[in-house]
Structure 1
Amino acid sequence: MSDLIDDEGPDGPSPNSPEYTVSEISGAVKRTVEGAFSHVRVRGEVGRVSLPRSGHIYLDLKDDRNVLASVIWKGTAQRLATRPEEGMEVIATGRLTTFGGQSRYQMVIEDIAPAGVGALMAMLEKRKAALAAEGLFAAERKRALPYLPRVIGVVTSPSGAVIRDILHRLGDRFPRHVLIWPVAVQGAACAPEVARAIRGFNALPEGGAIPRPDLLIVARGGGSLEDLWGFNEEIVVRAAAESDIPLISAVGHETDTTLIDYAADRRAPTPTAAAEMAVPVRLDLIAALDGLEARRSAALGRLLTQRRQRLADLARALPRPETLLNFAAQRLDRAAERLPAALSARVARERLRLSEAAAVLRPAALRRRVADERRRTEDRAARIAPALDRLVRQRRAELVALSRRLRPELLDRRTVSGQEALARLEARLRAALASDFDRRRARLEALERMRAGLSYQETLRRGFAVVRSGGQVVTTRASAEQAGALEIEFQDGRLAIGGRPPRRARKTEEPPEQGSLL
């Protein structure tokens, strides 16, 4: 660059001045800037922050008048204890360089830290307000701690005094199965490791080889704000808020407060206090159970005494069993005494009803019904034969008509099939006719038996007699007294009383032979 200036004359650049390419000019500027500002510390406010997928961090450092573009390469960004956020006042250490592709200069940051505790507190309050606005600290999100967890997961450093205090306190109060997830509790690796531990415990399956904890404790001893900063990172807060397992935050001493305390379900002032929150005192539980058992036994004894006394009072109010049975036995005896007379009266009433029903059924009516049925059957029998002949002739005519339309080679087969069907139909008709005749003959015979059983001759055989006067049946005493002569008919004949000599008994007329309906 100095050579270019020296070659200029009083009237401007000399025509013999050397020519430079754009890349040469850009490289010369880059060397000049990097040589003059190879190590600088810049204080400013973080402006725009960009986090692309490459892992680099692009940001602006600004004051009230100027802006300095800056970049933190991926390897450096992974080692940072504090990630820059917009509005945060920081002190950045690095070197200046140029970016020839856009003709700009920028700072390559190798380390960045808040500019004092005030800057950290301002950034903490800003982050707390943003996370609270999302509802991560809401009281309705917090879950109740299990009363007696089977397995407790502890996220802490395995080499510190914190884990020994927790295990010792759990052993004193109520020994439980403890799973330890070792993490870094300070530095750049603290936040991602704690978040992975919380999510890892939640990812354990129920009933797996490694038991899933019922309660989580995130613990760390006391320290400065910078030492506890990992528990203020957004990744840790979100992991605690998303945990399905109830979580106790025990970070720092009682006066120390981190953002994970707001996202956790419970905050413990110390790791020892977290162990006390996790489990009850076993001896206190045993004493409480003994007291409850004593109260239960006493209450059960009092209840039994009260029920026994109540039963005795009720038993005194009940009558004696003999008294209850005596009245029932007396009623049974009275019923037994009345039973024979009641049965006799019932038999007499039923016999009278039977006699009245038998008187209504007259033999002449039965004879007429039998004759009607016989005539109806004979009439149907006379009509069935001509009807069957007509049906056969009709089917035969239809068969002849169909045979004319059939081909000669199929006629024989159709004719034989029709004849066989016709024969089957005729056999079925004849079988049905014979069955109907048999059924009607059986019905006629049953009616004849009923007529014979209900005739007055059967009544005479049972010891009764028929009294007549002048050919009329005498049914009352007054009619018998007025009659000049009486005729009494018995089973074996008739006897005349008074006036005329007795007539010889006529044989009971037998019904004519019905003969066969077929």
Structure 2
Amino acid sequence: MSEAKSNVAEFSVSEISFSIKKTMEDTFGYVRVRGELGRISRPGSGHIYLDLKDDRAVLSGVIWRGVASKLKIQPEQGLEVIATGKITTFPGQSKYQMVIDALEPAGAGALMALLEERKKKLTAEGLFASGRKKSLPGLPRVIGVVTSPTGAVIRDILHRISDRFPLHMLVWPVRVQGETSGAEVANGIRGFNALPQDGPIARPDLLIVARGGGSIEDLWGFNEEAVVRAAADSDIPLISAVGHETDWTLIDLAADVRAPTPTGAAEIAVPVKADLMGMTDDLSRRLLSGLNRLVSNRRTELRAAGAALPALRDLLALPQQRFDTAANGLERGLIVNTRHHRTAYQNAAARHAPYLLTRMTRQAKERLLQEADRQNRALRTTISQKRQGLDAVAARLTPSRLSQQMLVNTERLGGLSDRLVRALDGRISRERDRLQAVGGLLQSLSYKDVLARGYAVVRDDKGQPIQSTEDVSSGMALSIEVSDGSFGAVAAGIPPGKSHPKSKTKKATSQPSKPEGQGSLF
């Protein structure tokens, strides 16, 4: 018995795939899709493959090479965009995708927004200021590298430095991806800076922080604040070589120099040894050539200057002539000078003859004796005048005259003393009378006399006199003063027909105990 044939249409895989493709293209046509760029792939064909995603779905997309070269913006992971294109399928993998013809930014994604916010904060603190940047050493002796010890990055750096200028290198191994990568990189930077200058481990002259390329999530550890602050605080010049040339992180802004790639960091860090040696040789040759040209030029200039000078005999001819003229006149000048001095000497000798000196000496002696006699007479006159003045003063200072003057002064002092005593007694008497009058007036106005007539003064617990029954409440402590003292009392009641508003709001906090043997006044 043969099987019953089904009436369901039968299609091949290709027919189904292309039918779905045509249905989707006819249904959607051109669309505009907003989403965040996720994975981005750039194969050698020139096409760009990417993912558009939101919080619930992912849409694959492709940008053909011809369109990719004309885009106004290049797609970057984490960037929120609006893509324009058509929805189609890729039958080879049974997946649908979007063929993108235009791409425009729509705002940063979550990570990019966080990154931009952190960048603004650290910029405001001055961590990215150009004034903080340090210049790199021309030829470092030791280079410290903060990177993964197992990746291709460290091998590229070591290989490039060994090719250019072999030197001592230190590697601080860290994780360059994952949750702990940021803290490990920050510790590596600070650890190199903490090495002492003369310690057992050489302190690097230059630091390189390196990592290969990756997505924004892979490179996120280098955007952490701890890494950025460690790079900005580093006393050792630092080169950032994180990701590829199109990648950027916050450590690139805080570093002293940013390298496009780890290999580029090695090229920035050290020069090529052969180039340095060639440059040194070239400079040596140029220096020697310059010195030779300088000496040759100076020799030529010296010869030209020598040729321009007059002959030696011409230079000495005029001075020789002046010398001969002076020599010829020297003999006549000496003879005339000698005669002049002889005449002057003879004139001086005539003025200093012995008889002239004797006469001058005698005249000077006579003048000296006359002056001495005049001085003696003046001295005697002065002494006589001083003696007469002293005698007159001595006559006025006799003992009897002094005694008489003292007696007169004593009588005057006694009279003044009597006048002072009488004046003080009168002043004291007047003030005493005035004080007695004021005391009598005070005594007449004092309430003590009223108390002596049988009255009393009632005060409250604060010492204030009570002037009205409205000031008294039941149980209130009182103080009563009479003529010979005071005693305490307690108010027992309020007189009939009196209302005391104050008693409604003012309550006694405590009632003093009644002294033994004391009764109530009310």
User: When the two structures are superposed, what TM-score results if normalisation uses the length of structure 2?
Assistant: 0.47
User: When the two structures are superposed, what TM-score results if normalisation uses the length of structure 1?
Assistant: 0.47
